[in-house]
Amino acid sequence: MRRTIFAAAHGPISLAFSIAGAILDLRIESLRMRLPNHLGKDEASGLIAGETLAQYELGTLRNFIYLIIDWDAKEAAIVDPQKDMTPLRDLEAHGIRLTKILLTHSHHDHVAGVPELLSTSPNLSVYVHPGDQFRLKKFDPERIKPLADGETVLVGSIEVEVIHSPGHSVGEVCFWVKKDAGYLLTGDVLFIRDCGRTDFETGSDEDLFSTLQRLKKIPDSVAMLPGHHYAIETANLFGAEKMTSPPLLCKTVEELRSLP
């Protein structure tokens, strides 16, 4: 009798889970369809005329480099530049002037292109959180501009909010581009369905957990753009990440620490 009851109950429970899973999949797919057409594909598409955000995959570590472009003002900022100057050449081809270098953090693979940009463009400055400036001692301190949590940086007329996001590095920041539906450049603190390592210098599980709780407040409609191409797709909507990302689903530091 017990087996019969279990079998009878197990069927509806399994069906309920299947239905719930199917509904979740539909919600996730519906969110992903709201991504701008040039984002969220399997490969970074580079600069697309008229688009606020350009994404490039450059370097041996599959880094994503971003351009934030104000097409009306013909001004742009580059985020985490590599030695490959393809983004700069694309800007020049469209008559757009590079006005800022923004760093999510100062690990070597995110600053590789800074020396050449500073040497060829004497009016450029590097914007970075003070907590990560200690790795930039070889650069002229007069050209290093500190970023503060909650600060707004202007790229032309586009507002970019700075969100201090320690965990992977003590001075890491995310850049929330307040244009269109919004774009959040997360550097190495948050990847698609994954998060950054904390076993590097100044990394911290506790800081990372606190950062993730804060990032959960980002609106679902904002596009999340990570610092590396570690997933199949290159971007996702934050709403989809909140439903599927193991780090964002963790409820305690211990849970986060136990993730593979």
Q: How confident is the model at residue 12 (pLDDT cuts 50, 70, 90)?
A: low
Average pLDDT rounded to a whole number, residues 4-22 = 50
Considering the domain architecture, whether residues 96 and 8 belong to the same structural domain is answered as: no
Considering the domain architecture, whether residues 25 and 63 belong to the same structural domain is answered as: no
Q: What is d(CA 73, CA 216) in angstroms, rounded to the nearest whole number? A: 32
- CA 234 from chain centre, in angstroms, equals 10
DSSP β-bridge partners for residue 97: 75
137-146 contacts, C-beta under 8 A, 24 or more apart? 139/114, 139/115, 143/118
Which stretch of DSSP H or E encloses residue 102? strand 97-102
Q: How confident is the model at residue 4 (pLDDT cuts 50, 70, 90)?
A: very low
- Lowest model confidence (mean pLDDT) among 7-16, 83-92, 196-205: 7-16
Considering the domain architecture, whether residues 97 and 28 belong to the same structural domain is answered as: no
Mean pLDDT, the chain, whole residue set: 91
Please give the pLDDT value at position 34: 74
Residue 81 belongs to a domain with what CATH number? 3.60.15.10
Q: Which residues are catalytic?
A: 105, 107, 109-110, 168, 188, 228
Torsion of CA 125, 129, 134, 138, to 10 degrees: -10
Considering the domain architecture, whether residues 151 and 212 belong to the same structural domain is answered as: yes
Structural domain range at position 20: 1-33
Q: What is d(CA 234, CA 99) in angstroms, rounded to the nearest whole number? A: 26
144-183 pLDDT, tens per residue? 999 999 999 999 999 999 999 999 999 999 999 999 999 9
- Say how many domains are in the chain: 2
pTM reported for the whole predicted model: 0.89
Please give the pLDDT value at position 41: 86
- How many other β-carbons are positioned within 10 Å of the β-carbon of residue 66? 25
Q: How confident is the model at residue 20 (pLDDT cuts 50, 70, 90)?
A: very low
Q: What is d(CA 30, CA 22) in angstroms, rounded to the nearest whole number? A: 12
Considering the domain architecture, whether residues 10 and 118 belong to the same structural domain is answered as: no
Query: Could you give the percent of the chain with pLDDT greater than 70?
Result: 87
